[in-house]
């Protein structure tokens, strides 16, 4: 009997010890899991990151195929483990970039994005899934990256990079990758990298620059401002057509190239092919390396006597907003515009008018209002004779229907209400000379406002 009691007590003690061990293990796991999922809404100091002293057996197995590369080797792999990279933008470029950096074993990734995942992102932003819609992109990307390689430390930042936080953030990383798609952010990231002495690997899909990849501020090379001292006029970067993009063709390929350049720098391969810019023509499938103009002695930020010695107001400098979303132009007076609600009552009261849709034909093919006449803004600007004739014919018809010598009303619509304002200005110049006199008004907010406020069945894109 006594023996049995002793034995049971011993077993109980053993089990209790096991429970304590399990609890500790669980707490540790929960802690490491929580640190992954902790979405940062501000910049906080990070603990220093050091390279691993040696590769574990698991590391050797995981990275074996790239360890065999003489350019990388064990030394390069250990360098990667001690490298930190800040990715500005977790969209079309940032997704493939983050994926390959994590897979290759970069020690720490900062993933920054102010936006949330939308259905229309998924065709090119391949780290996000259907179930992530509405989630912060930074968090969605961090979770996907962790699934791929749990040994990579991920810090998701759900915030907008600004002159107030950029230096503090960028100083904490070794390399910065610009995956943003707006001009003010590109100048902000550039200046912060120059001021903190960090290499900037920049891929761009901006129309004015084409699709290109460049490493700035590295190995004595130029910075972004050396190449583009002045921002482009805001009208050239603000319109309603986002421009089509095939996920793989531009962001997919450029994001992968960006990953390659980041890995070369992070693994310590030194200055290999810098001061070059790689242009990519997706349509003709051509890559063209272009020698970069060298660092400019009179550059405002990296030159010999810089005028920019701290971060400035980049939205004011560029005259445009630091988001990838369409900025709203305000070119017209109030009486030159009509709300979608007021336009709806014109339609409901069978008011005679012309609805002129000034979007490009590809967009009209996606969706349009059945009674609209399509003449793209570009045709109006170029005064394409057949289009102008068509419009003139419609104006004459309308005048006959109205049976009076009035100025027939023409309402101009586009996707979001920027291009339509430009079209109103063009048409007002033509009214009474190239065309019969008309009264032109812009439909505020365009078809997307129509879809949101008037007809929820109208597709949004």
* Start-to-end C-alpha separation, the chain: 79
123 is in an annotated binding site: yes
Q: Which residues pair with 278 in a beta bridge?
A: 213, 289
What is the C-alpha separation between 431 and 436, in angstroms, rounded?
6
Q: Is 299 in the site for Zn ion (CB under 5 A)?
A: yes
Q: Which residues pair with 281 in a beta bridge?
A: 286
* Near Zn ion in 318-357, by CB under 5 A: none
120 is in an annotated binding site: yes
Residue nearest Zn ion (C-beta atom): 299
Tokens of 451: 């879809």
Q: Is 226 in the site for Zn ion (CB under 5 A)?
A: yes
299 is in an annotated binding site: yes
Rg (CA), the chain: 29
21 is in an annotated binding site: no
- Assess contact for 82 and 128: CB atoms under 8 A: no
- Assess contact for 173 and 200: CB atoms under 8 A: no
Nearer to Zn ion, 226 or 423 (CB): 226
Q: Is 451 in the site for Zn ion (CB under 5 A)?
A: no
- Shortest gap between Cβ of 187 and Zn ion (angstroms)? 11
Contact partners, residue 273, CB within 8 Å, separation at least 6: 289
- Shortest gap between Cβ of 189 and Zn ion (angstroms)? 13
Nearer to Zn ion, 109 or 223 (CB): 223
Q: Is 391 in the site for Zn ion (CB under 5 A)?
A: no
Region near Zn ion per CB under 5 A, out of 298-306, 310-318, 342-350, 388-396? 298-306
Nearer to Zn ion, 64 or 310 (CB): 310
124 is in an annotated binding site: yes
- Return the sign of the alpha-carbon dihedral for residues 205, 208, 210, 212: negative
Give 35-40's long-range contacts (Cβ < 8 A, gap of 24+): 36/142, 36/143, 36/146, 36/154, 37/139, 37/142, 37/143, 38/156, 39/136, 39/138, 39/139, 39/156, 39/157, 39/158, 40/155, 40/156, 40/157, 40/158, 40/159
Nearer to Zn ion, 146 or 225 (CB): 225
Q: Is 192 in the site for Zn ion (CB under 5 A)?
A: no
Nearer to Zn ion, 27 or 297 (CB): 297
- Shortest gap between Cβ of 223 and Zn ion (angstroms)? 3
Q: Is 186 in the site for Zn ion (CB under 5 A)?
A: no
Nearer to Zn ion, 102 or 193 (CB): 193
Q: Is 302 in the site for Zn ion (CB under 5 A)?
A: yes
Region near Zn ion per CB under 5 A, out of 90-98, 301-309, 379-387, 453-461? 301-309
Q: Is 223 in the site for Zn ion (CB under 5 A)?
A: yes
- Assess contact for 283 and 276: CB atoms under 8 A: no
Q: Dump the DSSP string for 191-240.
A: HHHHHHT--EEEEE--TTT-EEEEEES-TT---HHHH-SSPPPHHHH--S
335 is in an annotated binding site: no
The dihedrals phi and psi of 63, each to the nearest 5 degrees, come to -100, 15
121 is in an annotated binding site: yes
Q: Is 225 in the site for Zn ion (CB under 5 A)?
A: yes
Catalytic residues: 240, 414
Which positions touch Zn ion (CB under 5 A)?
Answer: 223, 225-226, 299, 302
Residue ranges of the annotated binding site for ATP are 92, 113, 120-124, 137, 181-182
Residue ranges of the annotated binding site are 92, 113, 120-124, 137, 181-182, 223, 226, 299, 302
């Amino acid at each position: 009997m006594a023996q049995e009691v002793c034995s049971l007590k011993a077993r109980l003690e053993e089990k209790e010890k096991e429970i304590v061990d399990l609890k500790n293990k669980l707490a540790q796991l929960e802690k490491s899991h929580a640190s992954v999922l902790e979405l940062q809404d501000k910049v906080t100091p990070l603990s220093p990151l050091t390279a691993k002293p040696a590769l574990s057996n698991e590391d050797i197995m995981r990275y074996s195929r790239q360890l065999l590369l003489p350019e990388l080797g064990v030394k390069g792999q250990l360098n990667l483990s001690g490298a930190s990279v800040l990715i500005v933008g977790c969209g079309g470029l940032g997704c493939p970039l983050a994926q390959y950096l994590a897979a290759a074993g970069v020690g720490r990734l900062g993933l920054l994005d102010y936006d949330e995942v939308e259905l229309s992102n998924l065709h090119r932003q391949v780290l996000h899934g259907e179930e992530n819609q509405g989630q912060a992109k930074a968090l969605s990307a961090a979770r996907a990256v962790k699934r791929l390689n749990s040994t990579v430390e991920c810090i998701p930042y759900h915030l907008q990079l600004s002159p107030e936080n950029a230096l503090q953030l960028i100083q904490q990383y070794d390399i910065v990758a610009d995956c943003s798609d707006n001009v003010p952010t590109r100048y902000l990231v550039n200046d912060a990298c120059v001021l903190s002495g960090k290499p900037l690997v920049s891929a761009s899909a901006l129309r004015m620059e084409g699709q290109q990849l460049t490493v700035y501020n590295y190995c004595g090379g130029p910075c972004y401002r050396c190449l583009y001292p002045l921002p482009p006029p805001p009208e050239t970067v603000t319109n309603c057509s986002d421009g089509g993009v095939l996920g793989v063709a531009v962001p997919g390929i450029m994001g992968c190239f960006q990953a390659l350049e980041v890995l070369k720098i992070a693994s310590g391969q030194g200055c290999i092919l810098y001061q070059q810019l790689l242009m990519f023509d997706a349509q003709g499938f051509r890559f063209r390396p272009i020698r970069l103009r060298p660092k400019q002695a009179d550059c405002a930020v990296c030159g010999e006597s810089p005028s920019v010695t701290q971060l400035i107001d980049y939205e004011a400098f560029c005259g445009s907003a630091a988001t990838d979303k369409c900025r709203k132009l305000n070119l017209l007076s109030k009486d030159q515009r009509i709300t979608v609600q007021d336009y709806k009552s014109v339609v409901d009261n069978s008011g005679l008018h012309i609805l002129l849709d000034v979007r490009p034909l590809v967009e009209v093919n996606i969706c349009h209002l059945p009674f609209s006449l399509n003449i793209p803004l570009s045709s109006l600007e170029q005064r394409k004779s057949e289009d102008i004739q068509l419009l003139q014919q419609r104006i004459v018809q309308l005048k006959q229907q109205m049976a009076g010598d009035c100025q027939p009303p023409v309402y101009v619509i586009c996707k979001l209400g920027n291009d339509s304002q430009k079209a109103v200005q063009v048409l007002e110049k033509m009214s009474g000379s190239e065309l019969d006199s008309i009264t032109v008004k812009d439909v505020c907010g365009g078809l997307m406002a129509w879809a949101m406020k008037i007809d929820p069945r109208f597709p949004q894109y």
